[in-house]
Structure 1
């Protein structure tokens, strides 16, 4: 075997004991080496070595040592002979030696090579030695295999054993398990290896039995819903194990259930998040979630009726389910109702309404209503809803929607108040009389002052300065600042007071607002359909409705804002009204 340059050493001449023709050294001056990759010394083979040394009258082959501190020497190669001689002769035995004056790095490399060259090392010890050598060679596996005299495939197999836990490696060192056991266990997470190991040892499980047990708890990669790019090089992928080891489970399996489940959960969360732009409610269905959802149906035995189905699309309990069940992991079920009791009531109401409509009207009596008149008195009742139970038709009032509409109310009320100084003065006095003048924020008013008074910075930080500032204003500026006070007051009003002021003003949002992207961005796709139905967009879309609503949310919004021949002005959905 060719030795690399880092291992080519020349013994340095020594006066004693190295200068002797057959150098020896008392065992008391020799210490076991720090770099021996061998951890297990088999009692049977050690007993044979002891008997051989005793029969031969001593150690025939010198051990390799190197000088360390204080006149002591450390073993590089030959620890088994050292141990056997110690047992036969004790500390004062003069051990045949060969001295190599080398540094730590070279001593470690020599110890690895010397031990690997022998045929009685455990595969686990070879694995540790191979990992250390590859580390010394900065990852050059080809060179490591050449130094050991191994094929590259054998080196890779031994390195793969380093996926075993320390407990498994020790068990293989001590020959408590076979190489096949270790190769199968290497595919598992280390905590799982340590759970299998005691059972294998105590119950003498065969390699075949262990393989069957691991296959039972592994996960099929064919059913994975996540990106498997990383799996191609993962040590827990049975396909990689098949290429690497003599023993492995069937290909196409993941033996790290924890990692598999974590990646699956992350993908489920991604799917769930992607559906939240489309539905008010999105839920992941788990084992045990029976009877918590039902498919929303328009007609048939379980249908709620056409009008009610439209209303259901805006309900907070309408949406999509993502399966977290093993047999359908990641599958999406759209159009789900998560309030099964409500769904049952709507179905019952539709059936009752249809039955009532099918009954012939009673014969007219004096003073009574005719069938036609009775029907007319019930006008406005839709199929699937009773006169006392109206379908829900409002877009869900999320915080985003509430903040959006309150901002609209303030904006348009400020606009109307600012357009009429008399109205502004009236509202300012009313707000002050109601004890809400504290809502006027000084910073905002100072900003408005600087807009009204050109080339001036408001430096009124106390009452004296404020008096001087006010005294310097023209009449027009004072009037404008009174309007500005009203604007600042409206900005700070609480929502109930703001609504009362809007109603008093009879603020008409239709004069200012029309459908926009910033509003539609706040809604799910199903809520957009409700809004589109309210303002007449669905009717304008006609036969293209389904095609438009099948688009991704950004494209859907763009399409809803560009419907030809639709008049957008004056159309305000209910959710924005006060």
Structure 2
């Protein structure tokens, strides 16, 4: 498709420019330049479904052109096809790599990129070209109050001030900021206050029984800052932080029996999670929501932020990009429905209000039940090990079958998967001599001396090594061709149950028939701790565990 080289400026929709502050002097210079020479470097836009175009990169040039020439100006453009996620990512990276971006704006942009990387800060730092320390320093600014960020944007305070402010609650920040600005206190002054007064015992989430008589429990000396900082603080910051972290870990650990993913969220993790809802403007749809409950990225967040320390948020999606695409797909699907069908099913504005209420109360609502067992990395590892073990066990009983499978493995280019180590062990046992590495003649002579039975054992050992080493996709092909019956090799065990949540155990119990076998005791059992639930599921009187395999373990 041929795209235009210019577009009428007024026809370009605003994009998602992460910049909020534009230096007045530099902006004036750009406007004057554009007024006399026009825009030399094209801006980047993307085409939308309705035929319009949205700005992706070049916000300052657009501002300058509009000021200098108005909406009828023929704006030079580069048009590129991209989805919403690609546009957002490119806009963030493009802006953040410019050296005149405010640190607070860098923090907001970096936090979005961390979200797009599913919370992987190392990957986000790589994309930004930053060190991990630089990234963490910027992300810490995300805990600054709006007034502190504004002061940083306008250069009223220094970056060092803002980094220290981030350790306080937003209420404390807003009380301290006017004092810092009015009296001209240095970064060192603020650091001194932080060290003495930020560890509020009233806000502590750990058991404070040992703090009552501690020598570090004292009222903060606040003569410099009046009533900005309250009393009853711990002056041993290291001890305070250590106890806080232990309590956060304990809270997270208590949730891992219930959810697939549990994370402690820190400043800068703003975009790494989103409340999963079925309806409303951010809803993924009823059916999709059910599937999301079983996703390995579904779970709970424990706040490590000063303003909500220790608070638990259940029903979180930790793949915000996937969630965004699901919401977009739901909206697109609804737009294509006939108007009459939409009117019949929408239920009016009350439905939207109900969704909004549900969204607000989601943090305190019970966790939704899983509908399937999530294919987490741990479950996948367990499952693949089961497939390899079962197939190896059956092939080891039939030398002719092993020979056929080995020929097929070699013929399909999978010989590289054969590990010589286990094969050499069998060779040494059969021939009573170590294999001659690099000496083909000696090895061939030794192989010729093998009788039929020993040769068959060697074929089996080579095939078993291949089964252990082939890629998972190829292993699945082997299992399906062999018509491997996992029921002959597996029954419910503690190792498997420990890999899944209590909610997922209910799914397994339904699939295997355990819920019916347990009757009225089933609900009572699941009110207990995870270890007690596991013991109960593995000791149901009269239940035949043999021959029953849950869907998540099948190939």
TM range (shorter): 0.3 to 0.5
Bigger relative CO (Cα 8 Å, ≥ 6 apart): 2
Structure index of larger Rg: 1
The TM-score, its normalising length taken from structure 1, stands at 0.46
